[in-house]
Amino acid sequence: MSAKTVPPPLILDRKFVVPLLCGPGPCAYWPSVTEALAKPVITPNCDEFYNVLDDIRAGLQYVFQTKSKLVLAMSGAGHSGMEAVISNLVAPGETLLVASRGMWDQRAIIIANRLGKYNGIKTEITSVPSNTTFSMEQLESELKRTRPEAMFITFGDSSTGTIQNIERLGDICHKYGALLLVDTVVSLIGVEFLMDEWGVDAVFSATQKAFSGPAGIAPVAFSALAEEKINNRKHEPSFYIDIKLLANQWNCYGDTRTYHHTLCPPMLWALRCCLQEIVKETLPVSWARHASSTAYFHQRLQEYSIELFVPKPEERLNTVTTVMLPEGYNHLEFHNYMREKHNILVLEGRGPTLGKAIRVGIMGVNATKEVADKVADALADSIQALRK
């Protein structure tokens, strides 16, 4: 084929007004992260590459609150972490119990079902209404009934705006011989999470939420119990997400520098910088900042008589709030008005909240009372302006 068959396209720069990012993610970057994305290219051929990996692993041990050495970051979005924890820890013929209340639990079900088509993984599901969370009694009853090898649950769910209490769940899972797998994509940094203390066996997150970094790299961590299963497993997961191989590349045990795939240098620098910012602020301060900013935001919404999707305050997520749309409103029209009139980006509901709610993120660098005021006032104006 001639190189002239397809003519060169005309690719022009367009004017883009950066909005105030107050959806469920991605979040605005730390200013230092923007600078970090332009740092020099590093490769597995230089010591600095492994120095950066060491820094990232130490930072991830802090944010996950774990002493485990099997801590690293997947090359990919949060879904790569989700697929990795399921594929590496649930073997052919084994059962995964999914506690389903929102869209991300549904994604775990999809992944498990696809794996099941060729390796026999079985999926069991237990559910609650999407505007509430699970009781420990219900989860223990399902563990006792299904006797799974692992349970998957979402800690903070951005599709529903709920936060699940999991403090005793690790012990309950272990009582029935199950590993506990947890999604912390939209909750880590913004909500207290204690991996070791709570008995979590595998956890994944993503950097475009409360980390205030770019999408495209997914932190993961595994407990000693999960590590033992990975090291003694008889099955092989997909090559790209094989934690055994990735642990060697990430030099998790200090004696391997094996090449697996080419990691993205800007993502590594950005994650390292996010962790520097988090360590500088400290987790307790970050948790408190997110809690106070969101509580203030909810107070402002109450002043305008704006209804929240999640009725119980203790079940509301500190990073993403689901705001009920009054009857008759079009969520896309509402979203567009907020963007055009106020230059604030919020997003429509997703999964069980599609067409019912607007999802507002007060998180990362935007977890401040000043941002909460801007968004609350803009929401009130939009509801008034679009009243049918």
3-state secondary structure 30-88: CHHHHHHCCCCCCCCCCHHHHHHHHHHHHHHHHHHCCCCCCEEEEECCHHHHHHHHHHH
Per-residue pLDDT, 3: 62
Sheet of 150-154: strand order equals 71-75, 217-222, 202-204, 179-183, 150-154, 95-100, 122-127
Half-sphere exposure of 187 (CA within 13 A, CB side): 28
Domains and CATH numbers, the chain: 20-27+282-385 (3.90.1150.10), 31-279 (3.40.640.10)
CA pseudo-torsion sign 89, 244, 241, 207: positive
- The Cα–Cα gap between 361 and 367 comes to 8
**What residues form the annotated binding site for substrate?**
359
State which amino acid sits at residue 250: W
Q: What is the DSSP letter of 90?
A: S
Q: Which residues are annotated as a binding site?
A: 359
- CA–CA distances in Å: residue 244 to residues 82, 131, 228, 260, 298: 16, 38, 11, 11, 44
Task: State the pairing for strand pair 162-163/20-21.
Answer: unpaired
Tens digit of each residue's pLDDT, the chain (388 residues): 566 788 899 999 999 999 999 999 999 999 999 999 999 999 998 999 999 999 999 999 999 999 999 999 999 999 999 999 999 999 999 999 999 999 999 999 999 999 988 888 999 999 999 999 999 999 999 999 999 999 999 999 999 999 999 999 999 999 999 999 999 999 999 999 999 999 999 999 999 999 999 999 999 999 999 999 999 999 999 999 999 999 999 999 999 999 999 999 999 999 999 999 999 999 999 999 999 999 999 999 999 999 999 999 999 999 999 999 888 898 889 999 999 999 999 999 999 999 899 999 999 999 999 999 999 999 999 999 998 7
Beta-strand ranges (E) seen in 332-374 are: 344-345, 347-348, 357-361
Written as six digits, the tokens of 137 are: 């009694």
